[in-house]
Amino acid sequence: MFTSQYLELFLTLETHPDRTLINAMIESPVPESELSLSPHAQVQTGDGSTLNVRAAGITGLGFYVPERVLTNDDLQRLGVDTNDEWIRSRTGIRERHIAADTETTADLAENAARRALEDAGLTPASIDLIIVATCTPDYQFPSTASLLQNRLGASCAAFDLGAACSGWVYGLVVAQQFVATGAAKTVLVVGAEAMSRILDWNDRSTAVLFGDGAGAAVVQAVQSGYGVLGFDLGSDGSGGELLKVVIDGEPASSGLVFPPADGHAAGAPPAEAPADQSTLDGASAGAVSTTPSLAPRRKIYQNGREVYRFAVNVMGESALRALTNCGVDPHNVNLFVPHQANVRIIDAAAKRLGLTSDRVFVNVDKYGNTSAASVAIALCEARDQGRIRAGDVIVTVGFGAGLTWASAVLRWGGQKSNAQ
C-alpha cells in the first residue's frame, strides 16, 4: 500500500525533468543466469545522494471486445451516408465491435482485467492500485475504477484517469512511478471504452471511426534494464475545442427551476392551469423542479482536419522524445505499437521513426478507434501473435483529446523477482 515513507522518493522522481532517476535503469539487460538478483537499481540524484528505485514493467496482459461486430457495409445499410471504400481508403477500418445494450464500460473493463490477472498468475487480492483510463465512464461518479475494484473483490485504491486516447499510456507511466518508488507492488492499468454511447450515428465523420473494447496490464517490479525505460507525456489545452464531447440539448444550463422568494417557480404554470406530474413533484415549498425534456445526451465532436494534422506530427515526435529520454536509437526498436486511430497517421509516425512495416503493429482494421483501450488491446494482440519476444524494445504512443499525447519505451521481459 501507499505509505508516507515513500513520499520523498516519489516526489524526487516526479520532479526530475531530465528523467535521470528512471532512465538510469536502461543499461543492458542482466544475463539470464542473474535473474534472481534484486530489481533495485542504485541511482545518483542531482545533489549527489543515492536512491534505490525499482524497474517496473508489464507482467500480464489481457483484452476484451464485445461480440457484436459492425462492418462498414452494416453502417451503410443502417443509413449512415458512407460506404466501405470511403471508410477503408481514409482510415483503414473494416469493422468495429459494439457493446450490447446491457454491456457497460465496467463490464468491458472487468473482462480485460480478469484476463490480465490470469496471464500474470495473480488474484485480485494482489492488487495495490487500480487505474482505469476512460472517457466513457458509466457514471460521472463513482469512478469506473471503483466499480471494477468492487467487482474483482480487490481491496485497494482505485481511480479513473482522463486523457482520452492517450489515457492508457498515461496510466502505464503512473503505474511505473508507483512501482519504481516501492509505493505499490502490483498495479492494474485498464483502458476501457464504450465509444458507441457517445456517437452521433448521423455524423459520418465520427460514427465510422470508433469501436468499443478494453485492454489491461499488470505492472510490477522487473529486473533492472527491463520494463519501462523512458516516456514522454504532454498536453496542449489550446486544442481542446478540436476534439470534445458536447452536450446535446438546450439550454446548456442544469435545467433546474428555482422558486423565487414568493415561493412560485419562475416559468411555472398559473395556479388555475393543470400541472403535469413532473411539475407537481418539484413544486413543494423550497424545492427545485427538473424538466425531463432537457436531459442532455453526450455526443462526440471532432475537427477531423486539424486533429489529423496534430496527430501526424505529435505521434512521431513524442515517440522520438521518449526514445531520446532513455538513450535508445530508433533503429533498435523491435516493434512500434501506436494508438489505432487511422492507418495513415500510423504510417506517417512510422516513417518519422524510420521503421519498416514489419516493425509496426496495426489492428485498426478490426477494432476501429477504441480510444483509451486502443494501445493496450494492440499490445496484447501483438504479444499473442508472437510479434513480441523477451528482450525486444517496444514503443507505444497515443494521442487524443486535450489535446494530449503519451509515449513509453519498454524492454520486454525481465521476470518478476521475489524481492518486491
List pLDDT tens digits, range 166-207. 999 999 999 999 999 999 999 999 999 999 999 888 888 888
Q: Are 76 and 84 in contact (CB under 8 A)?
A: yes
Q: Which domains does the chain have, with CATH numbers?
A: 53-243+299-411 (3.40.47.10)
Is 369 among the residues known to form the active site? Answer: yes
For the ranges 18-22, 75-79, 164-168, 214-218, the lowest mean pLDDT is seen at: 18-22
pLDDT at 284 over 60: no
Q: 40, 135, 325, 339: which is the annotated catalytic residue? A: 339
| Beta strands in 185-308, from DSSP E residues, in sequence order | 187-194, 212-222, 227-235, 243-248, 256-257, 289-290, 297-302
DSSP code per residue over 160-182: EE--GGGHHHHHHHHHHHHHHHT
pLDDT at 261: 55
List pLDDT tens digits, range 8-52. 444 444 444 444 444 444 344 433 333 333 445 544 344 555 456
pTM score over 0.85: no
Q: The dihedral of CA 269, 275, 280, 281: what is its sign?
A: negative
List pLDDT tens digits, range 96-137. 999 999 999 999 999 999 999 999 999 999 999 999 999 999
Crossing angle of the two packed helices 167-181 and 7-15, in degrees rounded to 10? 130
Is 326 among the residues known to form the active site? Answer: no
CA distances from 109 to 118, 129, 148, 340, 355 (A): 14, 15, 7, 18, 32
Confidence band (pLDDT; 50, 70, 90) for 260? low
Which one has a higher pLDDT value, 56 or 5?
56
Confidence band (pLDDT; 50, 70, 90) for 142? very high
pLDDT at 205: 85
Confidence band (pLDDT; 50, 70, 90) for 262? low
Q: 23, 342, 369, 380: which is the annotated catalytic residue? A: 369
List pLDDT tens digits, range 346-377. 999 999 899 999 999 999 999 999 999 999 99
pLDDT at 378: 97
pLDDT at 264 over 70: no
Q: 156, 165, 326, 380: which is the annotated catalytic residue? A: 165
Is 52 among the residues known to form the active site? Answer: no
φ/ψ of residue 42, rounded to 5: -85, 130
Q: How far apart are CA 197 and CA 213, in angstroms?
A: 12
Crossing angle of the two packed helices 144-152 and 105-120, in degrees rounded to 10? 50
One-letter identity of residue 276: D
In sequence order, the 6+-apart residues with CB closer than 8 A to the CB of 209 are 91, 93, 341, 342, 368, 369
pLDDT at 234 over 80: yes
Q: How many CB atoms lie within 10 A of CB 205?
A: 14
